[in-house]
Amino acid sequence: MDIRSSDNRTAEFLVLTTKIIPLNNRTRWNNWYNSLVVANKLAAAINTYIKDHWADLEYDFITPEN
């Protein structure tokens, strides 16, 4: 379940983080790096969002068994 899948989810994520994680972009070679830097800075807020929506997100996570 993508954060961008609904306006409500996007708004809730923005309240927690104040910033959206950039999407992959073929025109910029370092876009994955930039996405990871932003996600690392927002780790605590992302974890809060995940805990609040775990029922919808749990099947999208990779586990050690995978």
pLDDT in tens, 1-39: 577 778 888 899 999 998 888 887 777 778 888 889 999
Place of tokens 């954060």: 3
How high is the pLDDT of residue 1? Answer: 59
For the full predicted model, state whether its pTM sits above 0.85. Answer: no
Whether residue 32 contacts residue 22, with contact meaning beta carbons closer than 8 Å, is answered with no
Dump the DSSP string for 17-53.
HSSPPPPP-TT-TTHHHHHHHHHHHTHHHHHHHHHHT
Q: How many CB atoms lie within 10 A of CB 16?
A: 15
Q: Is residue 50 part of a domain?
A: yes
Residues 37-46, mean pLDDT to the nearest whole number:
94
For the chain, the domain total comes to 1
Q: Is residue 66 part of a domain?
A: no
Residues 35-61, mean pLDDT to the nearest whole number:
91
Q: Is residue 25 part of a domain?
A: yes
Q: Is residue 39 part of a domain?
A: yes
Domain that holds residue 23: 3-60
Q: Is residue 65 part of a domain?
A: no
